[in-house]
Amino acid sequence: MIIYKNDAVGFRNAVDENFIVDDIEKQYTEKFGRRVSVSEKRSWNASLKFMETAIRKSRVPDDCGVLIEYNIPATSKRIDFIISGYDEDDNANFVIVELKQWDKAGATDKEDLVTAFTGGRLREVTHPSYQAYSYKKHLTDMNEAIYKKNLRPHSCAYLHNYSRKQPEPLTETQYQEIIQDTPIFFSKDTGDLKDFIKKYVGKGNGLDILYQIENGKIRPSKKFVEYVSSMFDGNEVYTLLDEQKVAYSNILNCATTVTDKTTIIVNGGPGTGKSVVAMNAFIELLKQKKNIKFVAPNASFRTTMVHMLAGNKKHSKKRLGVLFSGSGSFYNALNNEFDILVVDEAHRLKKKGAYMYRGESQVEDVVKASKINVFFVDDNQRIRPDDEGTVEAIKIAAEKYHSKVVEVELKAQFRCAGAEGFLNWVTHNLQIEETANFDGWDGDMFDFMIMDNPNMLEEQVRKKNEEGFKARMLAGFAWPWTSEKKGNPNADVEDVEIPEFNFKRPWNSRANQYTWAIDNEKENQIGCVHTSQGLEFDYVGVIIGNDLRFNPETMQLYSSYNDYYDTSGKKGLKNNPEELTKLIKNIYKILMSRGMRGCYVFCRDANLQEYLKSRLEMKKEI
């Protein structure tokens, strides 16, 4: 979506006559349906005056094209500035300019990351050159007009308030590779910037190039498809078995042969391979050049998936990221804007009122925005009141948008070393639902122990990590999580405290919290459901806090509102203990089902600890 489009002379006049911000604001409000913040208007007013100077000094023709605040299709990202035209060799070019108002920044030892004061505090952010480069790569990979009509993108960053330091942190050795591709210009580099612009668009005639960019179909290029596909080739983790193959084939058949709008619901519990099917279907449909996105509401799952696929390939994480999306960005999508949306962990889709979500229903957003929508769902993995992604809600949305429903069920277990009996035991004894086969798992295949104290549990997890397995400690949200403002940016405060056993450990780091599951340096940190749902480990140690308790007189599990610290998780449930108990029990089932080889549990509530021990002893006696 283009917010502002003009030729170069029209842009210069708008800046000179001081109505450029009014023009952009009007278009922005009409297209996004919301007001522009005062800070953003100030940013436009300042930065665009510097760009006008650079373009005027470059003496490029008046008929060069100018785009401002170009909303990259199918994303929430906007490119600050684009200028288009032809060069001396008659190549059709456009130049992406990332504008920053920074006056200082710091270097880091992390790939393409710097530190800068933004959003009210010092943060780690991408290097400005990398940011512009990533937008260029996204358009090259996904805009058909660019890769078919041989439009040539170029990119740079312009920090017009920034005086180059000696030495300059933003040009240190670790950033040289990205700067060679996408140069960075500082406050006194206007001459170099105008030469850079003139080199690529010096012959003008750029409006047609803008038209092609604006109207190019969004679908992956052959080169990009081959690049992504190569990451899956030979990966045995994604081999499909039995029911998984049935689900996969149903998805492909609908996506490739059905012409009507279709909603596919794949229903399955933990360990049935929903994510395996989702990823296989996604990559095959990507190979068929469908306009497709993989939607994962859980940021930890999404981030971990991209990291695992990208491995050590430089810049692959950001490049892959264009195909993976959160669930909150489709509320203003066009009808059938996408060929296919594949939604994993669909039970975490949100309804109106959820944090940072501007729409009415994320289930409806997905159905409306895609010709084929595939939901991988488990009703028993809802963990917050605003989680609306149930089978029933999906069917209602499908009916509203006249989408045919196809249902597939996954039952066979592929997690916990095939120990379906263990998950049945968990489901039964957490009183989620009664199961017939809850005593039949082989102890040699799956290691489950109830530990007498949290230190023993931690020791067992540490031992498994030392043996080369992937193991993590998890806990329910039964302890507060100290905020960054109160001195806890990087697991600095040991919030998870059990004083009766002299046990203290931090929650997972707020800095890069979504990589907690795959970062070996964070093994001593405790994760929660929000950083582990959808992921798998070899072994997990689960601490059940005082948010879930057992009453020996009624023989029922119950929740403790005051011991549950997820504010969003208990919103509106103070007088609805049954619903709160249901959600908290779902959380602990999710945590206990993250381990493929084993699970160790400690319950802070003594009655619950004894209850589970008795149920385990009964299993052993049978």
Tokens of 77: 């990202």
Summarised one tens digit per residue, pLDDT across range 474-493 is: 999 999 999 888 888 888 99
pLDDT at 120 over 50: yes
Contact (CB, 8 A) for 107 and 114:
yes
**Gap between the Cα atoms of 214 and 201, Å rounded:** 18
Contact (CB, 8 A) for 534 and 518:
no
**pLDDT at residue 206 in the model:** 95
Q: How confident is the model at residue 298 (pLDDT cuts 50, 70, 90)?
A: confident
**pLDDT at residue 399 in the model:** 97
Q: Where are the domains of the chain?
A: 2-215, 222-410, 416-621
208 versus 437: the higher-pLDDT residue is: 208
**pLDDT at residue 453 in the model:** 95
pLDDT at 350 over 90: yes
- pTM of structure: 0.71
**pLDDT at residue 66 in the model:** 96
Instruction: Tell me the residue length of the chain.
Output: 622
Element (H, E) at 376: strand 370-377
Average pLDDT, the chain: 88
pLDDT at 151 over 90: yes
**Gap between the Cα atoms of 474 and 426, Å rounded:** 16
Q: How confident is the model at residue 621 (pLDDT cuts 50, 70, 90)?
A: low
What is the domain class of 222-410 according to CATH?
alpha beta
**Gap between the Cα atoms of 142 and 294, Å rounded:** 15
C-alpha pair distances (Å), 507 with each of 265, 299, 527:
35, 17, 6
Average pLDDT over residues 344-359: 89
DSSP code of residue 456: H
Compute the Cα dihedral for 281, 295, 516, 134 and give only its sign.
positive
Average pLDDT over residues 328-339: 88
Average pLDDT over residues 149-177: 94
Specify the amino acid at residue 29.
T
pLDDT above 70 covers a percentage of the chain that reads 91
Average pLDDT over residues 399-414: 85
Contact (CB, 8 A) for 450 and 616:
yes
